[in-house]
């Protein structure tokens, strides 16, 4: 049996050069028996581009950080069947452990199947759960499907963690002619990309999960609201829907049953607030994406004021597995409060960044240090940001917190959609809080005064603190504003916008004090507060820094220590980058 | 269409197939606007008036929706649209320096187009390629692990390619 080569082509893989590697392999394999294919994203983003070598459906070797120049060599080794010649490209044991330490359910097919091929999905078990549900004999009623999801304990993976079965049941119970099933793929949380990975790598699993949900609530129409920033995901989803329709999984009388369901894909137009379900519905209806007052909840009056159910991509990606394996199997994983697994997008100052799926109940330390390999460049861990603009920063002292909706909520952060941005000692927490307020102030839809003006005022205060112009009492003023916004905002965006500020004040108050009272940024990150100095002991007087300085702030004669005039210095850091003797320090 | 401020003369016939397909479908305004932007590169004011008239809406409502979403532009863009990600991971990994480099190298502000009409520069929300941060997209191509030097090289390559044509 000859070897099959699969090149990982998610958006990150392609950005890292997987397309060029594929082209080079295609050219090198002309006339050979070795087949070449595409798979989605395996989630080991720091090793992209990744090329997998299979024989009889068994992975023989995983090659990492492959360059187009390696193609000839790979082609030759595969043609001769002697893979030992590629040992230098093979993944290290340490890196491979990144995957073996995970438990993959939502991501079970990502990086293993061809996202452009229905056969590939079906071979991996795709649509078996749908067949089980719709079987003429011993099929499942909608109530049985909802009971199975209830038993599994699956909760909304978009961030709120609301029990999925409850929403489905409410939509099922609601009286209404037309019902709609909606998938929220408007993954706007900066730092999260698991939904993109699922759509790009395994679109049929999403479609199958949505079909089962549509059957359960009694919807004949399903809509996917995808961010316009994900062109590849939109393209693959459209292609997968066309294949599913042709094969009879989508459309009228699915698999010969009485159940019919049509799909539509709508591209979002760039507004973070549209991740909020009622704002998303407004946007689907072609309006400004401003949240509605709840109640009525979408289950009673959603899209076109008909009963609607909205879940996010990761939630749907779990559904077919639960139907296949039973609710109890899913509920067997996790903690009493949070069942199953959760996907995290591990990024920032981490050594091994990518997608991590683990059972609930593991600790943050397990994810960041055991799987992610800790901080890169030998620096110290400072905090991990979870939940994006609605979440918070968790400090090193709480690294043993377990991953569970309640336990994470107790820290002031949230589970969120799964973004985990890791920060080291060089990240300034005040600047981080400002970063999120810049974001929410920009993304506030403007409907509620507290959110619209409150976030603006907070942004102003945080800006002046990072510029060394903070006033005594600013921290207390921030806290007061935070509480007012929490109380006064209508939707989740506004109610949670203060979280990043509240958690940084709670855990890193000393950094705020240093900025305000000493005009000092302990992380050395706030530009306006940087003090560049030259250590005379290390300075060789090479004059390079003086030549680089754009404002002539550095003086000194050749072979004698130089000095920086801080009144002239614009804190651009070019001198420090240029110095070969590490003589320039920043504080 | 009697407003004095509408001075553009876009070829409105290009929009006919889009309006034929979507004008009567409720809730399609964003889709129509997206396709109009595909056609014209941005949303000219006369196109907005035309869409309002054809969908039985008002220019105020159409413009209100268009200005709500960051995707829509009201000025023509350059041949190459640079979108620099300012998500959390990119921010932590130094996207600010990359923004500075682009602004200095191309002499272009955020949201503006270069004098030669070649590049438009826009700092955008998370592009979802966090593991490659800092990241930018130029048209539909994504570039990751950017450094000030690599950004300059990417831009130089495009300039060279354009000069050769």
Measure CA B29 to chain center. 18
Size of chain A in residues = 587
> Two tokens at A149?
């999801």
Residue B3 is assigned to a structural domain of this protein: no
With H, G, I as helix, E, B as strand and everything else as coil, classify residue A55: strand
Residue B110 is assigned to a structural domain of this protein: yes
Q: Is B114 left (phi over 0), alpha (psi -120 to 50) or beta?
A: beta
> A residues 325-354 near B, CB within 8 Å?
345-349, 353-354
> Two tokens at A327?
């609710």
- Please report, for the domain that includes residue B52, its CATH number: 1.10.10
Residue B87 is assigned to a structural domain of this protein: yes
Same domain, B91 and B145: yes
Q: What DSSP character marks residue A36?
A: E
C-alpha–C-alpha distance, residues A141 and A497, integer Å: 41
Query: In the prediction, which pLDDT does B7 show?
Result: 65
Strand partners, A266: A225
Give me the residue from B70, B89, B93 closest to A270, CB to CB. B70
- Please report, for the domain that includes residue B108, its CATH number: 3.40.30.10
Query: In the prediction, which pLDDT does A579 show?
Result: 92
C-alpha–C-alpha distance, residues A253 and B113, integer Å: 52
Q: Is B147 left (phi over 0), alpha (psi -120 to 50) or beta?
A: beta
Same domain, B64 and B84: no
Query: In the prediction, which pLDDT does A1 show?
Result: 60
CB distance A281 to A298 below 8 Å: yes
Quick check: A421 and B88 CB within 8 A?
A: yes
Give me the residue from A15, A266, A267 closest to B144, CB to CB. A15
Residue A303, CA atoms < 13 Å, CB-side half-sphere: 26
Same domain, B59 and B96: no
C-alpha–C-alpha distance, residues A60 and A51, integer Å: 11
Residue A487, burial from CB neighbour count under 10 angstroms (0-12, 13-18, 19+): exposed
At A555, which helix (H) or strand (E)?
A: strand A554-555
Residue B27 is assigned to a structural domain of this protein: yes
Beta carbons within 10 angstroms of residue A480's beta carbon: 11
Query: In the prediction, which pLDDT does A52 show?
Result: 96
The residues of chain A scoring below 50 in pLDDT are: none
Is B10's pLDDT higher than 50?
yes
To the nearest whole Å, the CA of B163 is away from the closest chain A CA by: 24
Given strand A35-39, what is the order of strands in its sheet? A35-39, A4-8, A51-55, A58-63
Average pLDDT taken over every residue of chain B:
91
Query: In the prediction, which pLDDT does A57 show?
Result: 86
User: In Å, how far are A37, A84, A345, A553, B132 from A69, measured between CA atoms?
Assistant: 19, 18, 30, 46, 21
Domains of chain A: 4-100 (3.40.30.10), 118-330 (3.40.50.11540), 341-424 (3.10.20.600), 429-518 (1.20.1440.230), 530-586 (3.30.70.20)
Same domain, B47 and B93: no
Q: How many domains does chain B have?
A: 2
In the block, residue with structure tokens 């961010």 = A227
pTM for the whole structure: 0.93
Is B3's pLDDT higher than 70?
no
Residues of A in contact with B128 (CB under 8 A): 11, 187, 192-193, 196, 227, 229-230
Same domain, B160 and B84: yes
Q: Which domain, by its residues, includes B124?
A: 80-164
Domain termination residue (choose one: B68, B95, B111)? B68
> A residues 506-565 near B, CB within 8 Å?
none
ipTM of this predicted structure: 0.89
> A residues 419-438 near B, CB within 8 Å?
419, 421, 423, 427, 432, 435-436
pLDDT tens-digit series, residues B111-148? 899 999 999 999 988 887 887 889 999 988 889 999 99
Work out the end-to-end distance of chain B between its first and last CA atoms, rounded to an integer number of angstroms.
40
Query: In the prediction, which pLDDT does B5 show?
Result: 54
Question: Can you spell out the DSSP letters for A324-383?
Answer: HH-HHHHHTSB-SSSBSEEEEEEEESBSS-EEEEEETT-BHHIIIIIIT-SBGGG--EEE
Residue B16 is assigned to a structural domain of this protein: yes
Residue B55 is assigned to a structural domain of this protein: yes
At A7, which helix (H) or strand (E)?
A: strand A4-8
Same domain, B100 and B142: yes
Beta carbons within 10 angstroms of residue A369's beta carbon: 16
Nearest one of B25, B44, B43, B24 to B33, comparing CA atoms: B43
Quick check: B29 and A284 CB within 8 A?
A: no
Query: In the prediction, which pLDDT does B140 show?
Result: 80
Same domain, B105 and B160: yes
Same domain, B58 and B93: no
Q: Are strands A51-55 and A4-8 parallel, antiparallel or unpaired?
A: antiparallel
pLDDT tens-digit series, residues A458-517? 999 999 999 999 999 999 999 999 999 999 999 999 999 999 999 999 999 999 999 999
CB distance A60 to A3 below 8 Å: yes
Strand stretches in B2-98, DSSP E: 80-85
Residue B74 is assigned to a structural domain of this protein: no
Quick check: B29 and A287 CB within 8 A?
A: yes
Domain termination residue (choose one: B68, B99, B115)? B68
Quick check: A421 and B130 CB within 8 A?
A: yes
Residue B5 is assigned to a structural domain of this protein: no
Same domain, B125 and B155: yes
Q: What DSSP character marks residue A90?
A: B
pLDDT tens-digit series, residues B18-55? 999 999 999 999 999 999 999 999 999 999 999 999 99
Same domain, B47 and B86: no
Task: Name the pLDDT band for B1 (thresholds 50, 70, 90).
Answer: very low
Same domain, B51 and B106: no
Query: In the prediction, which pLDDT does B138 show?
Result: 93
Given strand A419-424, what is the order of strands in its sheet? A354-359, A341-348, A419-424, A381-386, A392-395
Same domain, B92 and B55: no
With H, G, I as helix, E, B as strand and everything else as coil, classify residue A557: coil
């Amino acid at each position: 049996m000859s070897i099959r080569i699969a090149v990982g082509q998610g958006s990150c893989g392609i950005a890292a050069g997987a397309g060029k590697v594929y082209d080079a392999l295609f050219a090198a394999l002309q006339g050979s028996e070795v087949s070449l294919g595409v798979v989605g994203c395996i989630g080991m983003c720091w090793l992209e581009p990744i090329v997998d070598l299979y024989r009889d459906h068994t992975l023989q070797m995983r090659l990492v950080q492959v360059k187009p120049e390696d193609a000839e060599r790979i082609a030759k080794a595969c043609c001769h069947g002697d893979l030992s010649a590629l040992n230098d490209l093979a993944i290290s044991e340490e890196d491979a452990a990144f995957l073996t330490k995970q438990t993959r359910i939502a991501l079970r097919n990502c990086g293993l199947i061809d996202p452009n091929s229905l056969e590939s999905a079906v071979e991996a078990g795709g649509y078996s759960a749908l067949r089980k549900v719709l079987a003429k004999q011993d099929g499942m009623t909608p109530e049985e499907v909802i009971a199975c999801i209830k038993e599994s304990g699956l909760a909304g993976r978009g961030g709120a963690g609301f029990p999925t079965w409850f929403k489905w049941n409410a939509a099922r119970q609601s009286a209404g002619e037309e019902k709609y099933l909606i998938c929220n793929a408007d993954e706007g949380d900066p730092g999260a990309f698991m939904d993109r990975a699922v759509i790009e790598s395994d679109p049929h699993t999403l479609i199958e999960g949505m079909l089962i949900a549509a059957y359960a609530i009694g919807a004949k129409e399903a809509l996917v609201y995808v961010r316009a920033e994900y062109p590849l995901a939109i393209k693959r989803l459209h292609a997968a829907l066309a294949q599913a329709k042709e094969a009879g999984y989508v459309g009228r009388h699915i698999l010969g049953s009485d159940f019919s369901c049509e799909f539509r894909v709508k591209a979002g137009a760039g507004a973070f607030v549209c991740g909020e379900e009622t704002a998303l519905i407004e946007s689907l209806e072609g309006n400004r994406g401003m949240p509605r007052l709840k109640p009525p909840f979408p289950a009673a009056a959603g899209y076109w004021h008909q009963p609607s159910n909205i879940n996010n991509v990761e939630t749907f990606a779990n559904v077919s597995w639960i139907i296949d394996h039973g609710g109890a199997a899913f509920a067997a994983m996790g903690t009493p409060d949070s069942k199953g697994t959760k996907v995290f997008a591990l990024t920032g100052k981490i050594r091994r960044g990518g997608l991590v799926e683990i059972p609930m109940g593991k600790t943050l330390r397990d994810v960041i240090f055991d799987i992610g390999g800790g901080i890169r460049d030998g620096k110290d861990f400072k905090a991990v940001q979870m939940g994006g603009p609605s979440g918070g920063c968790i400090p090193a002292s709480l690294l043993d917190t377990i991953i569970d909706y309640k336990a994470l909520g107790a820290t002031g952060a949230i589970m969120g959609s799964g973004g985990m941005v890791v920060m080291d000692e060089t990240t300034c927490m005040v600047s981080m809080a400002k970063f999120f307020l810049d974001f929410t102030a920009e993304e506030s839809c403007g409907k509620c005064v507290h959110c619209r003006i409150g976030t603006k005022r907070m942004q102003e205060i945080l800006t002046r603190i990072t510029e060394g112009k903070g006033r005594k009492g600013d921290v207390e003023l921030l806290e007061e504003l935070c509480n007012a916004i929490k109380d006064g905002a209508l939707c989740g965006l506004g109610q949670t916008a203060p979280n990043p500020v509240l958690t940084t004040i709670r855990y890193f108050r000393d950094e705020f004090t240093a900025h305000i009272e000493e005009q000092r940024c302990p992380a050395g990150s706030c530009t306006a507060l940087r003090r560049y100095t030259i250590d005379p002991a290390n300075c060789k007087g090479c004059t390079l820094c003086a030549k680089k300085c754009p404002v002539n702030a550095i003086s000194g004669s050749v072979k004698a220590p130089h000095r920086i005039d801080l009144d002239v210095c614009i804190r651009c850091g070019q001198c420090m980058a240029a110095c070969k003797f590490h003589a320039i320090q920043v504080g | 269409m009697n407003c004095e401020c509408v001075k553009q003369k876009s070829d409105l016939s290009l929009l006919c197939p889009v309006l034929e397909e979507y004008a009567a479908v409720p809730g399609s305004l964003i889709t129509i606007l997206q396709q109009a932007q595909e056609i014209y590169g941005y949303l000219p004011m006369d196109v907005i008036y035309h869409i309002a008239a054809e969908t039985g809406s008002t220019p105020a409502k159409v413009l209100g929706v268009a200005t709500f979403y960051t995707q829509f532009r009201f000025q023509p863009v350059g041949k190459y649209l640079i979108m620099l990600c300012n998500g959390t991971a990119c921010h932590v990994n130094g996207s600010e320096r990359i923004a500075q480099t682009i602004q200095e190298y191309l002499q272009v502000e955020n949201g503006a187009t270069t004098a030669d009409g070649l590049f438009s520069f826009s700092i955008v929300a998370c592009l979802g390629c966090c593991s490659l941060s800092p990241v930018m997209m130029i048209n539909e191509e994504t570039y990751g692990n950017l450094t000030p030097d690599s950004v300059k090289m990417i831009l130089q390559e495009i300039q060279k390619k354009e000069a050769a044509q």
